Amino acid sequence: MGDNARVASVLEEVADLLELKEDSFFQVRAYRRAAREISALTGDIRDLYVRGHLDQVPGVGKAIRDKVIEVLRTGELQYLKDLQNEFPAGLLQVMQVPDIGPKTAGRLYKELRVTNLQDLRAAAEQHRIRMLKGFGERTEYNILKGIRYLESRQGRMLLGYAYPRGKALEEHMRERGFDLVSLGGSLRRMKETIGDIDILVGSSEAERAMDTFVSYPLTAEVLLRGETKTSIRSQDGVQVDMRVVAPSSFGAALQYFTGSKEHNVKVRTLANELGYKVNEYGVFRSSDGEKVAGETEEDVYDALGMQWVPPEMREDRGEVELARKGQVPRAVTLSDICGDLHTHSEASDGVDTVEAMAAAAEALGYEYLAITDHSRSLTVGNGLSAERLLESMEHVRRVNEDRPGIHLLIGTEVEIDERGGLDYPPKLLEDLDIVVAAVHSRFKMAPEDMTERLVTAVSNENVNVLAHPTGRIIGEREGYSFDMERVMQAAKDNGVAMEVNAFPERLDLSDLHCAMARERGVAISINSDAHNVRQLDHMRYGVATAKRGWVPPEMVLNALPWEALRKHLDI
């Protein structure tokens, strides 16, 4: 585990245990914020420490800075050990089960002596949890479901965690003279979770490629060293497998190792029907064994009479049939995005100022950026009262005047109450440029009630976007249950865009829901939900998710140029 991940993990565990102790909300929040900021660093926190620049990390004040230094110096934190000694070690694992936070874990520990996952499973299966005040049969069912969900996700990484690590290794190889380098597997297809990272290199110098690969500075262990394949484990525990093929076979190997398995089976079946054989070395005529393609992926597909298929779309969802007709649809790409319609500033739970967010968005080439801080009832997100929102609106207007290179939209991420009502009065919402509506509470409503809640919200004339529509947190919490068909139809009828929230933990809508929206003509808005300037880069993960759902740019709200968006929003 690298320094950034190690320090962030320690601080998160401190926050969990402080919350379990029912300590100060502000203290817990401070540790979580510091952990989040350190995780998001692009450089090594040890370098900042050596240069005496730890104070440049947002959220790292003196008390937390001293603890960060202790972890960097010793690899441990005595304060954490002291907290751990107050509770059974297994309680932290209990808190990883979706919907069991520190408070619930604390009650289960005190009232049922649940100290680990085994105890939790037994208590649920023996129907002892439903006997507690405030719990019930549905709670027990959800806990058992959550345990199974947690177990199924173990050993997999979020796309947003794996991608920068894979790209860093890819760049390491390029900088040392290897031009034919690419990510492969599920990471190249940009799936929401990744197992191991696969990298392919095309080179006639296999031995030098292996030496270069294992010399990667963050290598902790060489797991396998072979003539064509080498595997390492990085310092943060990620396994990376690299394969080396001859340059003349690079395209065929890239197609083969990108997958998916189902896509490749379809391609090989088609090849056999056409009198060819396809493998990682090339495309060969069955009659005489002559190689007819392999140097590039485009050549491989072309040899089979197919249009090249973008990696994100290779999941055997009809793309092979369309490629044979030359009708692979154009899906949205990062270059189509004209702005971001869901971001936060320091006014609520963001880290950076409106000025900093605007400058970063302008640097990305965006035409516009919406500042959508949380509304008043989301106290955990430091939501804005009506008075504070008015002040924020005025501040955004002033910044807008000072930055002619980008258009700032004044907005809100407004809470949807249990009946579908919104957190601010209609007149205030009417004065905003954009309203992003979201659910952050009461996730366990009956499906029919949640459906009515969402339909009512998107039917509100002031709502423009429904944020993270299912409420899922990948690997931690499944989305709430509701009738997606009805909600999408209501969104379409009312001109409301369904969001693809690009935060790696969310990617909500999912790729399958994106496909569903596309098929029904429902507009999509791909947003970063950035809480600092670095998180604006999360946009790439949302775009990839929409692309996996074949969403075309013309269905994406924030692919509209400024004047078209302005007309659409009537501002």
Question: What percentage of the chain exceeds 90 in pLDDT?
Answer: 68
For residue 381, pLDDT beyond 80: no
The C-alpha torsion from 289 through 290 and 295 to 299, rounded to 10°, is -100
CATH code, 250-324: 3.30.210.10
pTM: 0.78
Model confidence at 141, pLDDT cuts 50, 70, 90, reads confident
For residue 132, pLDDT beyond 80: yes
* Confidence at residue 1, expressed as pLDDT on a 0 to 100 scale: 47
For residue 543, pLDDT beyond 80: yes
Average pLDDT on 346-360 reads: 92
Model confidence at 416, pLDDT cuts 50, 70, 90, reads very high
For residue 155, pLDDT beyond 70: no
CATH code, 1-81: 1.10.150.110
* Confidence at residue 535, expressed as pLDDT on a 0 to 100 scale: 92
* Confidence at residue 225, expressed as pLDDT on a 0 to 100 scale: 93
Average pLDDT on 196-221 reads: 94
Question: Using a CB cutoff of 8 Å and minimum separation of 24, what contacts does 140-147 make?
Answer: 142/98, 142/99, 142/444, 143/97, 143/99, 143/100, 145/478, 146/97, 146/98, 146/99, 146/100, 146/477, 146/478, 147/97, 147/117, 147/120, 147/121
Structure tokens at 279: 């493998």
**Fold agreement between 1-81 and 250-324:** no
Whole-number Å distance between alpha carbons of 522 and 490: 9
Question: What percentage of the chain exceeds 70 in pLDDT?
Answer: 98
Q: What is the 3-state secondary structure (H, E, C) of 491-527?
A: HHHCCCEEEEECCCCCCECCHHHHHHHHHHCCCEEEE
Q: Name the average pLDDT for the chain.
A: 92
Report the chain's C-alpha Rg in angstroms.
25
Average pLDDT on 523-551 reads: 96
CATH class of 87-154: mainly alpha
* Confidence at residue 154, expressed as pLDDT on a 0 to 100 scale: 62
Query: Please, which residues have CB within 8 angstroms of residue 372's CB and are 6 or more apart in sequence?
Result: 341, 342, 343, 344, 411, 412, 413, 434, 436
Question: 18-45 in b/e burial notation, b at 16+ Cβ within 10 A?
Answer: bbbeeeeeeebbbbbbbbbbbbbbeeeb
List, for residues 61-100, the tens digit of each pLDDT value. Answer: 888 999 999 988 888 899 988 888 888 777 877 887 877 8
- Could you identify the residue written with the tokens 């501002």? 571
Q: How many CB atoms lie within 10 A of CB 479?
A: 20
Whole-number Å distance between alpha carbons of 2 and 161: 13
For residue 150, pLDDT beyond 80: no
Whole-number Å distance between alpha carbons of 467 and 342: 8
For residue 159, pLDDT beyond 70: yes
* Confidence at residue 235, expressed as pLDDT on a 0 to 100 scale: 77
CATH class of 334-569: alpha beta
Whole-number Å distance between alpha carbons of 334 and 341: 15
Question: 358-395 in b/e burial notation, b at 16+ Cβ within 10 A?
Answer: bbbbbebebbbbbbbbbbbbbeebbbbeeeebeebbeb
Going from N- to C-terminal start, the domains of the chain cover 1-81, 87-154, 157-178+189-241, 250-324, 334-569
Average pLDDT on 503-521 reads: 96
- Is the backbone peptide bond immediately before 509 cis, with ω within 30 degrees of 0? yes
CATH superfamily, region 157-178+189-241: Beta Polymerase, domain 2 (3.30.460.10)
* Confidence at residue 487, expressed as pLDDT on a 0 to 100 scale: 98
- Could you identify the residue written with the tokens 């002031």? 462
List, for residues 169-184, the tens digit of each pLDDT value. Answer: 999 999 999 999 999 9
Model confidence at 153, pLDDT cuts 50, 70, 90, reads low
List, for residues 391-413, the tens digit of each pLDDT value. Answer: 999 999 999 999 999 999 999 99
Q: What's the Cα-to-Cα distance from 80 to each of 58, 85, 315, 329, 530, rounded to whole Å?
A: 21, 9, 45, 53, 30
